[in-house]
Amino acid sequence: MTDPVYRTILLFDIEQYGSRDDVEQAFLRRVLYDVVDTTLLDAAVDETARLRADRGDSVMELIDTAVPVPALIKTLLTETPALLHNKNRLLATSARMRLRIVLSSGYVAVDELDGWVGSDLNHAVRLLNSDPLRDALTQRESDCVLCVSEGIYQGVVRHGPLGVRPEEFHRVTVGTKEGPTVAWVHGEPGSSTPGSPEAVAGASGPDAPALQRSDVRIYGDQYGQAGGTLHGGQHFDFTGRTRDERR
């Protein structure tokens, strides 16, 4: 296993992915890739500064710490929602994609199976699957909701960098196996408009599509075969070198 390295951790997860049929899932995955790639391009994240793992309904990105986090947060708050809106406005309500997004940071290592391991990564995934974040997306009109870890909030958000307003985030407590942990969700609690198409699409209840927890909680404490293929088939390690360069 490689030595752990510190990275910015960015996670995207599609709401109610498991309730869709195979054709819809394949379409949503293509849209998700486009949203993630465009988001990182807008945030000036070079291809050599990111590593992706594909989890079906989710994408995980490890981003080099040389990439400014304030610019990444600003992009997630502005460009990503606009991009999703432009895509969803052309689709039927039932086909729209809504995303939970988590921005965190920490140490991650790669094991002998090319999988990603680390308690900081586990923590980010637990935020992604947490009830407060799920509820926040369900209760809102917006197509996505952003959650940042306590470390990202205290280190970046609370200082109010250009384009980021700390007062727009609210504190939540997330229960984990290791005990309660603090995170920060963008937007006010319960900020949806009752009866709006977006709120109906994300609502729970007898009229909502059936969705089992097993459909979305696909993460364990460790991660098996993780993708390292990125834009044209190159594979790189945490130093930014391609596989051919390491040989």
**135: which residues sit within 8 A by CB, 6+ positions away?**
none
Distance, in Å, from the CA atom of 58 to the CA atom of 121, rounded to the nearest integer, reads 14
Per DSSP, helices labelled H in 111-226 are: 119-128, 131-138, 150-155, 197-201, 213-216
Tens-place pLDDT, residues 91-105: 877 778 999 999 999
Q: Say if CB 31 and CB 95 are below 8 A apart.
A: no
d(CA 99, CA 137): 8
**pLDDT, tens digit, 9 for 90 and up, residues 158-213:** 999 998 999 999 999 998 777 888 999 999 876 543 333 343 333 334 343 333 33
Two structure tokens written together for 108: 């991650």
Q: Which pair of structure tokens corresponds to residue 72?
A: 């990444």
CA nearest neighbour of 131 among 84, 168, 183: 183
Residue 91 CB partners (closer than 8 Å, separation 6+): none
Provide, for the chain, the percentages of residues in helix, strand and coil under a 3-state DSSP scheme, each rounded to the nearest 5: 40, 25, 35
Give tens-digit pLDDT for 6-22. Answer: 999 999 999 988 788 88
Which tens digit of pLDDT belongs to each residue from 37-78?
999 999 999 999 999 988 888 899 999 999 999 999 999 999
Name the token pair of 86: 């432009």
